[in-house]
Structure 1
Amino acid sequence: MLEIERVSARHGEATVVNDVSLRVGEGEVVTLVGRNGAGKTTLLRCAMGLHRSMSGRVRFAGQDVTTAPPHRRARLGLGLVPDDRGIYAGLSVEENLTLPPVRGFSPWPLERIYDTFPALAARRRFSGAKLSGGEQQMLALARVLRAGARLLLCDEPTEGLAPVIVQRIGEILREAKEHGVAVLLVEQNLRFATTVADRHYLLAQGRIVESLDNADAREREGELLAHLGL
């Protein structure tokens, strides 16, 4: 579904992503694991078309989208859940959910969103600014599912959240997968990643240094945590 082929990206004079190739299949959850500064967020931005200082090729849903602007990629069903969550703080929960256009790939109806995210249903009239960090993260996920994204680009969705919220986010990602939604997940929480992912790419200094299936990642957890400095 998503193919990134020999992508390199720069910030000014510094190369932060170097000749990276990866793929995410339909209904598959794949994680990018690496230390801070490894190039994970930049790679997601390249996939979404938000980082233009890049070379290589990006294909999504059978189309070459390398030169396509972000809004065209969104219409094809690519959805970004950024690390800053990107919600509209001045709008209500319901306005955040209904403002983005529905793009046609099995969009989740509002009733289903509220069934899946009961905390959002209870706060549907609250502004985004009045939500907790966990509720904001759930709103960011719910918004792209409501819009009909067929592949989620999730950047550190568990960072700074309580364990009970992390567990709930894992349940939501698994439910989305069951309904055919694919995920490319940037995550430093390796233990969380192994509860949701099928495969993992280990990124170091802008390069993919290893690709592992989930069984290998579980078996080598101690080694990988040492690599991450955790």
Structure 2
Amino acid sequence: MLEIEGVSARYGEARVLHEVSLTVGEGEVVTLVGRNGAGKTTLLNCAMGLHRSATGRVRFVGRDVTAAPPHRRARLGLGLVPDDRGIYAALTVEENLTLPPVRGTSAWPLERIYDTFPVLGARRRFSGAKLSGGEQQMLALARVLRAGARLLLCDEPTEGLAPVVVRRIGEILLEAKQHGVAVLLVEQNLRFATTVADRHYLIAQGRIVESLDNTDVQEREGELLAHLGL
């Protein structure tokens, strides 16, 4: 579904990504695990078309989107959930959900959104600024599902959230997967990652150094935590 081939990226003279390649299949959840500064967020931005100086190739749903701007990739079904959540703080929950254009038959209707995220239904008239951190994260996820995303690019969705909210985020990602939505997930919480993901890529200094399954991660948890500095 998503194919990233030999992608490199720079910030000025600093090279952040070095010919990174990975794939995410339809309905698959794949995590990108690495230390802060390893290039994880940059890779998501390259996939979305937000990093203009990137080289390499990006294919999505069988199409070469390397030269496509972000809005065209979004229309094909790529949805970015950034680490700052990116919601409109001055708008209500419902306005955040209905403002983005709906694309294709994969878009979740509001009824399903509110069934899956009941807290958003209860706060539909609240502004984004009045939501808790966990509620804002759920709104960020709900917004791209409402818009019709077929693949979510999720950047640290559990960071700083209470364990009960982290569990709920995991349940939501698995429910989205059951509806055929794929996920490329940047995550440092290894235990959470193994509850939702099918596979894992370990990135270090801008390079993919290993591809792991859940058994690998569980057996090498101590080693991987040390590598991540956690």
Please classify the TM superposition score into its range, dividing by the shorter chain length: over 0.9
Q: Which residue of 1 aligns with 2:166?
A: 166
1:105 CA displacement? 3.8
Q: Which residue of 2 aligns with 1:108?
A: 108
What is the rounded CA distance, in whole Å, between the counterparts of 1:160 and 1:49 in structure 2?
A: 27
What is the rounded CA distance, in whole Å, between the counterparts of 1:70 and 1:211 in structure 2?
A: 28
Contact 1:105 1:149 in 2 (8 A): no
CA gap of 1:20–1:144, structure 2 versus 1, over 3 A, is same
Aligned residue type for 2:10: R
Q: Which residue of 2 aligns with 1:192?
A: 192
Q: Which residue of 1 aligns with 2:93?
A: 93
Q: Which residue of 1 aligns with 2:33?
A: 33
User: For structure 1, which runs of at least 5 residues remain unmatched after alignment?
Assistant: none
What is the rounded CA distance, in whole Å, between the counterparts of 1:6 and 1:113 in structure 2?
A: 36
Aligned residue type for 1:192: F
What is the rounded CA distance, in whole Å, between the counterparts of 2:110 and 2:215 in structure 1?
A: 36
Let me know the Cα RMSD of the aligned residues: 0.6
Q: Which residue of 2 aligns with 1:216?
A: 216
Q: SS of the residue aligned with 2:84?
A: coil
| Per-residue Cα deviation, 1:76-103 (whole angstroms, up to 9, x for no partner) | 0000000000000000000000000011
Q: Which residue of 2 aligns with 1:202?
A: 202
Give the TM-score of the pair, scaled to structure 1.
0.99
Aligned residue type for 1:155: D
Give the TM-score of the pair, scaled to structure 2.
0.99
Please say if 1:227 is aligned against 2:227: yes
What is the rounded CA distance, in whole Å, between the counterparts of 1:112 and 1:218 in structure 2?
A: 34
1:223 CA displacement? 1.1
| Per-residue Cα deviation, 1:28-52 (whole angstroms, up to 9, x for no partner) | 0000000000000000000000001
1:121 CA displacement? 0.5
1:217 CA displacement? 1.2
Q: Which residue of 1 aligns with 2:154?
A: 154
Q: Which residue of 1 aligns with 2:8?
A: 8
Q: SS of the residue aligned with 1:160?
A: coil
Which of 192-201 and 100-109 deviates more? Answer: 100-109
| Per-residue Cα deviation, 1:177-218 (whole angstroms, up to 9, x for no partner) | 011000000001111111100000000000001001112111
Aligned residue type for 1:222: G
Extract structure 1 runs of 4+ deviating beyond 6 A.
Answer: none
Q: SS of the residue aligned with 2:86?
A: coil
Aligned residue type for 1:32: L
What is the rounded CA distance, in whole Å, between the counterparts of 2:130 and 2:71 in structure 1?
A: 28
Contact 1:134 1:161 in 2 (8 A): yes
Identity %: 88
Q: SS of the residue aligned with 1:18?
A: strand
What is the rounded CA distance, in whole Å, between the counterparts of 1:189 and 1:105 in structure 2?
A: 33
Please say if 1:135 is aligned against 2:135: yes
Which of 97-106 and 202-211 deviates more? Answer: 97-106
Aligned residue type for 2:166: V
